[in-house]
Structure 1
């Protein structure tokens, strides 16, 4: 199939077409040329899929195996906005509001520990300074006063890494060429104590 002139040797395009045919929403949005690549071979594709299914390697078997596995829950991350207050002030305030600060999360047992977090528990991220870890199942967290008033900034860990790794000194000039909404910029500003 990859030698088909409509594919032009693109294995990636073949993967997308096969996925959409077997698992996705079909090829309704494809050009007629791309549809024809699959439609000319649809019986062979279905025969191979049926053969794989009989060996327990078909799409249905894979979906059932995926559903049987425990879902990984991604925690909620919130960065302490050190432009408004210190980490110590944040911790004291959280504790006064009956949050349970459990210290630094263990790197070795991170997934297990986070998966068992209760809604009132908070870990400190072991890598990124001033980043807190809240339970994945926490409800209406965006309405919490610290979040609404920007004392805590909801920001995924991956989004915190650029400024954290750059670690600009106060007075540095930083140009954020990333996409909106400006979380990395505000993080860099916090690291520089808003001097730069």
Structure 2
């Protein structure tokens, strides 16, 4: 999956002279943690929700309502713009974009084309949507998780096992916990019992929430 296939192309942007109050309103209405800022057609940076909130007058201020209203008509976002904006190309793999956002604690990334023109935006909501889609949750079925050794052919072996039972695979995923590798299959059946029996017969360790209960209780 590539960023360009999941990026948002219809999203609000601001200019440096826009009011902080308007920026706050857009963020609330659109549930955004970040807004990109353009000066004419040039991308100049972004603002974050926490900066906008910090710049607004405190409810505990000694200013009168008239003074607050006047102040709000003068406060613009130009002093809040962050210029350490990271952009990606639409051909960037979605997992690399997610890694960037995770490592740098970014609420979103600008997407630019080969001419450095802003063509899209990708945020945490998009990444969560990708996760849900990748795991096949919306397609129903059943979820099977099992621990595996780090050896060649595990996915192929289990895939054949499932295919031999005439059951379709919706999605697969690999996760690590406590130095152990877990593989998760979502399969197109409401009764995964035949698959579980075959996995156990082949000495796979099938796992579920009950296997981690003691670990969670210690927390």
Q: TM-score, normalised by structure 2?
A: 0.25
Q: TM-score, normalised by structure 1?
A: 0.27
